Structure 1
């Protein structure tokens, strides 16, 4: 069927063109199919009209397991083929999208890509694979060296990655030593919240000095645990109270008998405080000066019948006892000497009895106080002019002694100290010599301190679970047991959440029960605090732990103005990606008026409206957004009148003022001048000539087939203005 018929002077012209067939993407042309003219259709097959482009995300978890996420984007286009030639014309490819993918946030690990961004899939995009891995975070902790009261003396840092086994190698502070009996782990595992604190109990290291310690081993100079101090001078560790008995015999011989009791003690040097403590003085053997009975010398009596035993102590002063002998008078006629002697023949006392020689005389015995005869005491004596001996001995008595032994238990409770005193009274039974004062053969009974269970305080651990039962004997001394309540290590978190409540990350809070733990937020890179929130400066560690502190954060936004440098390189909040490239922040829309003057000179008038905008970069995603365009100065091209030139007419006499918006295009206008026509004098009319016979008109020529007009070019899409209002032309 003709598409067009033209009738001209009896000639019919029929214009025809190649037919075409549209091919839908859902109905592609099979390979090898031909046009009605027998031409093979070159295209429009399945692969020419449809593409499936795949992004494969492979996530390798910390435990080595893998997860694969497949994202498919399908794009298409339609086509038209020429029914004569088989040539194919294609339409534009559609676009599709790979959605953004956010990997799971696994505490204690850093993901290689915090987000796989959404991508607009266009023709030319290749299949791609994104590998996401998790790197164990570096974790830190400490070995905390604590005294019996729970005070931290020093620390040794621990470091390792999440899941690693970290060796525990204590480095005891100078002047301190390990408390015996505690179990210190050889290793500790770094967790997602950090490395648990290893508490090592330490106590003051001491140096024990005895009287036998060489002088070179006695501490002097600076104290190891506090080098700002020097050790004081040690006091003496031995003292020897001495009693010297000087005996002068009748023969002129002199004898000196020293009696010594040695007391010693031990000095204990504290390597932290520098203090020196001393133990109690202890006797080296007996604590008595022994009793002394002077030697018997016939015919003489000592000035002191006996030097009694005496218990001494370290404060007892030295003393001297002098013993001399006096001659016993010879009995005369009618006299008898009564000599009171001990079992060793030592004369204790003498008594003179007089009477008729060889006669029996009654007398009253003079037995000294605290002495008693060993046999029957005579009340008469025969006067022989000699000596009668009566053997006597010291009187003894049974006595009881009492000793009180105390054990003081001090509970250093968090609320204050509490004392419990346990008391045992021992009884000893012995024999006392009333002459010398010596007590011998003392037999003591026994007792016990009951077991004691310290009070339980939540959030604290005692250094002793129980104070055990203990036997008490005469050798036992007073003692003190100190129970310390050590605050437990508590943990909590600062949780950083975005404005939608999603957890971004967290940091560990650590402290001991009862402590105020400082809140020092460490924001993740690329984020900033949401203004207006109240973040506590401290939070209290309770027996149940440390309450979590929630901190709201938002993406940090970086605003760039014209002339300022845009951020580039890796994005702080996602180092696996880089910042988008910034587009221009300035734009000029120009109207250029070119005036072509009659003398062939040119005059150019330029009218420019300037616009600016700002760019805002997201420090987490790396994406950039732009503000709306703002006019910088006047927002119009001013009206312009073309210059008037005498004898010439301008092609356009004026241009109206025009309000400009950012989407307007530049304009180029040319003004040309045409010379005005001059008036001509009319010619005088002439007589008309008679026309000739008309000729037959010639056959018109065949019209030329017009050429196909050129395909107009696709106009460029103007930039979309942002809230610029309607364009105005000002007249």
Structure 2
């Protein structure tokens, strides 16, 4: 309150500037706040701005002012749009953690192996070099690589060397300069295959005329076993000229000449030639003996013409044959000789029969018995055969009777008789005694050996009686 008498008072009033503040706000393109810096000052004061863009970011829209002037009114915040800062690296210099220089370059190799016909391998290597760069996000530290860039000519075209008589599995390997195709190492293997070749075997006759041929086909360089294919019914003139194997040396043009001739076979013929011997004995029985000789001959059959050139027949033989001896009979053939049988000999049939031996017929005495006795006795005296009684008289009488019987019998017609086996000379000497025991052929006379023996004995007795009368 002012009082009376109070002197004037001077009051000085002063103003103090208020504190002022504003913000610089950094946001990304999506509006997300990245960083905020506050700027302070006084009203009417101009303040230098000290605000840095966030690390790893860069301003996209707007800029950070150098100063801010505070007017006293509220100073609005300043928004600055920022984005990630990136930088490019090429593998040189300092690299982000985890990255090596090899991440920025690479070499892709194409290996071409050419296997030669002799088995050796020739190798050619082709390389293609690539580089790339990387983008590093300074906020996230994420590294993004660019595409690979070819820095050389890539893989150039490759032509496989030519080798006579051989064909490569791949004549050319194409060039590759497309980075997209050069992503990995590649190996190409090339091999040679021998070309197909032929060998012709010509089969000709001795005059050079071609009769047939045979083609052998395989790869050049191969050795092929040959199975000869001779024309039908032909054979080689010289088997040594027939190849057992051929080597294919070239594609075409190889010819081998083999001289051939007509094939011949060795036909054979056999035949039997028989001598049939039929022996009919006096009793009417017939015995057949077959002598078989087997002969053969061989020939050369020309299998082309069909003609056969025959060699001579071999020879064999029929052995000698003697029919059995039958006492009192004579065979029509005493012996069949040995015969050599050849191709001209024909079958033969021989018939052998027996004929009775001629026997003398007894004659009647001209005088009576005493005269006969006298004749006998006289004959004995004339022959010096007289012996006193009791000294061989019976033997002489029997001998004389047998002799008389032999001289006075004649042959008769044949009739069945018993057959004796073939006789040895010793057996034949004893035959007369056996004959006396055999029945003579039936002639109607009714004589037999026993009758003749009795007659001889009777005559002997008469002779002995006469001799006794003379001695008396």
TM bracket (short chain): 0.3 to 0.5
Structure ranking higher in strand proportion: 1
- What TM-score comes out, normalization by structure 2 length? 0.47
| The structure with more radius of gyration | 2
Structure ranking higher in helix proportion: 2
Higher relative contact order (CA 8 A, sep 6+): 2
